[in-house]
Amino acid sequence: MAKFTATAYINNMASRLGYNGSHCWSFYGLARGTAWCAAEISYTFNKIGAKAKWYGGKPVFYVPYAQVWMEKNYKTIYDYRGKGSIKDAKKGDIIIFMFTIGSRDHIGAVRLDSKSSSKLYTIEGNTSGGQVAKRTREKKNIFAVYRPPYKAEKVSPFKGILPTLPKRGYFKSGDKGGQVEKLQKFLIWNGESCGHYGADGDYGTNTASAVSDFQIRYGLSVDGAWGKECQKKAIAIINKTTPPTTTKPATPKPTETKKPEPKPTPKPEKTKTNAQKITAKAKEVAYKYGTKKSTYSYPDGKPTSAYKSALAKAYPDRSKWGKQTRAGASCDVCAGTIIRASGVDKKFPRGLDDDYIYLPKSDKFKKVSVDEKSDLKAGDIIIYRKKSGGGHICIYIGDGKVVEAGYVTKRYPCTVKLDESRLKPSYRKKNYNIFGVYRAK
């Protein structure tokens, strides 16, 4: 089981901000358009490996059923009929909403400890136009609040570095770069979620929302911009969680005759998994993310020297190929070169049509179910054929990035952001005849 903590639950749900319900409808086999707020709660428990902690290990799609079960199995923090107070609600608590007195119309989760007696800061599915979204809810609309049996949060010291504020004195939406990435890493360490891509160096909507949550949580002015007030609070938080280093005076010891120490036995190197081998080779041969324009049109029209070397070893017979494929500037040759050169499968074929047939039958790979980025693992192979014609194959290397090559001669292996929309079941059904994600065994 993954860590069953309130932060793990809320951050998993926050990774789907903006999703429209297709992931729930597909995962649970529900008709498109079915109300899915309760399905989102079930889905999140499933995604963090805590399915057994919710509704007896089963999904539930009807809010009143969920409320009755929680009343019997979870701790009641607040009930509008005269029990408790909403100011005692904490991050990760599950909320039943009522839009008329006594009704049980909707369900969501508390995303922040606010200690407010009049409102709660929430995250919900099927809200704000039918999506996963953050909301602020008034007490009058809260039927009850229940607390799952989360494990205690463990706070480890922050190992990163806080960003240097820009000359204007604050970061805001639209800012990009390494300093923004440092800020995002601090926010994530502190329990906030920066959305699908995590610390990607882009101060977008989800990062601004994370900063706003930070400001609410610590009673700061809320504007979604990271300035001196936030920086000062962050320093205080880090100092509080990092124990000071103390040096004790050395106690003199009597002189002893030292015996020669036995030579330590060298530890055997850890064997890499096949997925790790593929990931390492992909990173080695591809242009790094952000080093070239995303058009792939490299000025010199050449691949990296590491890729040329790997290509020569992976396909020594390529002199018989056409000019474009001989140069290795196609997605199937790129994937094949990486997989062959990694040593995982030295017979991996060239050509998408052959790949479509080979992968499902291969004893080197297994097909896995993927509906969103969090289902992927580094080393996964993504392959599809479009209904409109053409197809593609690429390799996921983690952190929301893939290594791939295009079909134009000057397009060589490079690292780009994963187009996450292609993973959604609704998009796949509409656009692809074939879609699969394969994981090395």
Q: How many domains does the chain have?
A: 3
Task: Indicate the residue type of 66.
Answer: A
pTM metric for this prediction? 0.57
Our measurement of the distance from residue 221's CA atom to the centroid of its chain's CA atoms, rounded to an integer in Å, reads: 29
* pLDDT at position 251 over 80: no
Do 404 and 289 reside in the same domain of the chain?
Answer: yes
List Cβ neighbours of 103 (8 Å cut-off, separation of 6 or more): 143
What pLDDT was estimated at residue 282?
92
Residue with the bigger pLDDT between 318 and 27: it is 27
49 and 116 part of one domain: yes
Confidence check: pLDDT of 299 > 50: no
CATH of the domain at 62: 3.90.1720.10
Residue 139 has pLDDT above 50, yes or no: yes
pLDDT, tens only, 166-215: 999 999 999 999 999 999 999 999 999 998 788 899 999 999 999 999 99
State which residues form the domain around 41.
Answer: 6-147
Q: Is the pLDDT of residue 68 over 90?
A: yes
**pLDDT mean over 374-379:** 91
Give the CA angle between residues 224, 227, 232 to the nearest 5°.
Answer: 120
**Backbone torsion region of residue 121, taken as left when φ is above 0, otherwise alpha when ψ lies between -120 and 50, otherwise beta:** beta
Q: How confident is the model at residue 259, as a pLDDT?
A: 67
Per-residue pLDDT of 89-130, as tens digits, reads 999 999 999 999 999 999 999 999 878 899 999 999 999 889
Q: What's at 405, amino acid-wise?
A: A
The conformational region for residue 333 under phi > 0 = left, psi -120 to 50 = alpha, else beta, is alpha
Tally of CB atoms within 10 A around 239:
11
Task: Tell me what the mean pLDDT of segment 391-398 comes to.
Answer: 91
What is the domain-level CATH number for residue 195? 1.10.101.10
Q: Please, which residues bridge with residue 383 across strands?
A: 393, 436
Question: Which of 180-184, 333-337, 371-375 is the most confident on average?
Answer: 180-184
Percent of the chain with pLDDT over 70: 88
Task: Rank 61-65, 113-117, 239-243, 357-361 by mean pLDDT and report only the highest.
Answer: 61-65
Which among 423, 440, 308 is positioned nearest to 366, based on CA atoms?
Answer: 440
Structural tokens at position 284: 């080695």
Question: Is residue 72 a part of any domain in this protein?
Answer: yes
Q: Is 248 a residue whose pLDDT tops 90?
A: no
Secondary element (H or E) of residue 401: strand 401-404
In a domain, 123, yes or no: yes
Q: Does residue 307 contact residue 413 with C-beta atoms inside 8 Å?
A: yes
Q: Are residues 108 and 201 in the same domain?
A: no
Q: Is the pLDDT of residue 33 over 70?
A: yes
Residue 193 and residue 111 share a domain: no
In this structure, the answer to whether residues 424 and 285 fall within a common structural domain is yes
Reply yes or no on whether the pLDDT at 294 is more than 60. Answer: no
Nearest Cα to 21, choosing from 42, 5, 48? 42
Kindly state whether residue 47 falls inside one of the protein's structural domains.
Answer: yes
**Residue 416 pLDDT:** 83
Which of residues 147, 167, 192 is at a domain's end?
147
Are 224 and 282 in the same domain? Answer: no
pLDDT at residue 203 in the model: 94
pLDDT above 60 (res 366): yes
Average pLDDT, the chain: 87
Measure Cα distances from 320 to 274, 325, 341 in Å.
Answer: 30, 10, 20
